[in-house]
Amino acid sequence: MGFLSNGPSRDGALRWYAIHVPEGREDAVAGKCRQLLASDLVEDCFVPKYERYMKHEGAWRIVVHPMFSEYVFVATRDVRALSKALGQLSFPVSLVGRRNRSYAPLSSAVQTWLESALDDAHVLRASEGRIEGGVLRVERGPLRGCEGRVRKINRHKRMAYLRFDEGGDGDCVLQAALNVPVKN
């Protein structure tokens, strides 16, 4: 998976790990994990989401979707203890990214960017901008200042595609709502 780090995390560093869950059960599993896993082991358990523009009966509205379908993210400093605790749960979940004897966390570039871009509810809110002379200028929202990461814009769907070049097995591409009503 392109959003995972190429190697294990440093001991003691707070890193985000992905766990695979059945599709459509992301919020329920995240809630159960928050309830059942020790708070000294798991600092946060969440489903990162993003706002998306959808046209319904001729009107645009914003809806919230999971950023990574079938995945829940867990913030921990001890992935070995997390793996053991997940194995003791009564419902099936599994850590993603097993490499040799360790698990790969979310890539540090993606984690750092998401920490700054997501709000307290772990939602990437919609942004708004304009294209002037072929150059994107984001005026409002979490994509402001991140124009260099935008690799593609679909103005019809009001969507931006951001790339995080990790140089490993694959690059990470994230979707984000971006309304660009003006193009000069």
Residue 120 is assigned to a structural domain of this protein: yes
Model pLDDT, residue 152: 92
Using the Cα atoms of residue 178, residue 151, residue 68 and residue 109 in order, give the sign of their dihedral: negative
Domain that holds residue 173: 15-183
Contact predicate 132/54, CB 8 Å: no
Domain with residue 106: its CATH number is: 3.30.70.940
pTM for the predicted model, two decimal places: 0.84
Model pLDDT, residue 1: 45
Looking at the structure of the chain, the number of domains it has is 1
Model pLDDT, residue 164: 78
Residue 154 is assigned to a structural domain of this protein: yes
Mean pLDDT by 10 residues, the chain (184 residues): 51 87 93 92 96 92 94 94 90 79 82 94 96 94 93 92 68 85 80
Model pLDDT, residue 25: 93
Residue 7 is assigned to a structural domain of this protein: no
Q: Within its chain, how far is the Cα of 45 from the centroid?
A: 12
Residue 109 is assigned to a structural domain of this protein: yes
Model pLDDT, residue 97: 77
Cross-strand pairs, 61: 54
Residue 64 is assigned to a structural domain of this protein: yes
Residue 1 is assigned to a structural domain of this protein: no
Model pLDDT, residue 5: 52
Report the distance separating Cα 82 and Cα 50, nearest Å. Answer: 26
Tokens of 50: 């993003």
